[in-house]
A and B are shown apart, each in its own frame.
Chain A
Amino acid sequence: MSYPQPSSNGAVNAAQDFFRLNTPLVSPGDIYESEVGALAFAIGPESDLANIAIDYYDTTQAPTFMNSVAISVSRTMVGQISPDLTQTYQPSNVPGRTLIRPTDLYNPSIDLATIVGFPIDDSYFVAPQLDVIQYFNQQPGLVPSRNDKTFEFQRIGNAAATWAIVIPYYGRKSGSYRFVNNAAVNQGFGLWSINYTIGDANNGYAIENIVAFTSEAAGAIVKGSIEQSTNGTFDALVAVVQTAGTRKFALRVDVSDTD
């Protein structure tokens, strides 16, 4: 959870009609809270996550008094959701704020070496962006959609090594990748899809290979597309790059919610 936590109170004081919770995930258990009522919730454009839960105080939900509604890239929540700070959730006795949390999983401590089947010197996680918009007044229409995104990497690290680069995907419909070996010597490249699951570091994921790891010659280009119909849906892409010499390479990955 980012610190200090983004505050919806500030949006009210700043005369805004909405509060935008736009922050990278830090841990799998990130939970954000709001002390302001809402008339709608929707996924924001910069979100990498596709499924987010809104937990709110509900007197009818004994014994915890907590109810929950999920929003996604295809489903908004339109209706009044109000915190009740005069009441508390049970048995935690925490004030009845509205809670915002991802239901998509994220685990930056997974054992990537086990995924690819050989040693990984280091790994680089692109933290998924959590983008939720909480509207304070009525909206004529809400069409949630995530922006298409492009991730580019060049010359990672300061020495020749094998790197795992984890890129958030979370149910995108399509994507493309392009790896260029700009070094004068061979460098390796491979691509996997990964689904986080609840478990420990050794079994908390499910993987499928998209591009087999291969040592690419100088100047080689590896490119292709990822389709939901072919590759399924998954949470993240894992690109493995084995650098050598000058570490010159270029990797570009595009992800989209359209076919």
Chain B
Amino acid sequence: MAATKPPTLASRVAGLLPLASGNLLRRPTPAPSSTPMSKIGVPAAPIDRNRAQVPQPAAQTGKGDLRQAAYVYFTKVPAVGAATPVLYSADRLWAKVTVTLETAGPVAVGFNSSLTPLTSGKGILLTTDAPVTFDVAKGNKLYIQAAGVNRVNVQVQSYPWLEQITGLLMNLVNTVLGAMGVTP
């Protein structure tokens, strides 16, 4: 019969954590499970569908969140009844989008899907060789419209930290509301 080793001091102390919780006998909270997390930090499967939940900040920044892009967009001859082309869609991230018109234009860029007539003021008319920067919030789309063929340089720089700041702020608000006894 094998002899049973007595528990070490370290294992005994580990079993008493966390001290701040007031329950000395509770074992530490296990590490987060491998529940799929979306990029915005909200669990893919909500815990309670009957309650609104505050998005949690992403624990980690994925490579995709830091991805940059630089490309040339060629405006096309618009077809009758065709939808306004999307220059950039900020589905997952905030982004800084810089567009530079390399041809004579006219080319209009804006957040309104209806940009025609181009001189109506619904979008910003680009000036040749003058970079224009847009901060595109998550969930918005940047549309582009032209009356002819043009060449537009596009640079996309992601803002993942904005996403995290938003999550942290929401977490702070949640804490304050909790301290006030208000259920979010």
Please report A residues at the B interface, Cβ cutoff 8 Å.
8-9, 12-13, 15, 17, 35-39, 80-86, 96-97, 135-138
A9 touches B103 (CB 8 A): no
B128 touches A138 (CB 8 A): yes
Q: Using Cβ atoms and an 8 Å threshold, which residues of chain B touch A80?
A: 104-106
Q: Which residue of A lies closest to B75 (CB)?
A: A12
B149 touches A8 (CB 8 A): yes
Q: Using Cβ atoms and an 8 Å threshold, which residues of chain B touch A138?
A: 128-129
A38 to B129, CA, bound (A): 13
CB of B65 within 8 Å of the partner chain: no
Number of A-B contacts (CB under 8 A): 67
Besides A15-B72, A39-B104, A81-B104, 6 more A-B contacts (Cβ < 8 Å) are A8-B149, A15-B151, A37-B105, A80-B105, A83-B148, A137-B104
B147 touches A86 (CB 8 A): yes
A36 in contact with B147 given A12-B74, A86-B116, A137-B128 (CB within 8 Å): no
Q: Using Cβ atoms and an 8 Å threshold, which residues of chain B touch A96?
A: 147
Interface membership of chain B positions 144-173, coded 1 if the CB is closer than 8 angstroms to chain A and 0 otherwise: 000111110000000000000000000000
B149 touches A35 (CB 8 A): yes
Q: Using Cβ atoms and an 8 Å threshold, which residues of chain A touch B106?
A: 37, 80, 82
A80 to B77, CA, bound (A): 18
A85 in contact with B128 given A37-B103, A136-B104, A137-B104 (CB within 8 Å): no
CB of B85 within 8 Å of the partner chain: no
Q: Which residue of A lies closest to B78 (CB)?
A: A86
A127 to B123, CA, bound (A): 47
A137 to B149, CA, bound (A): 14
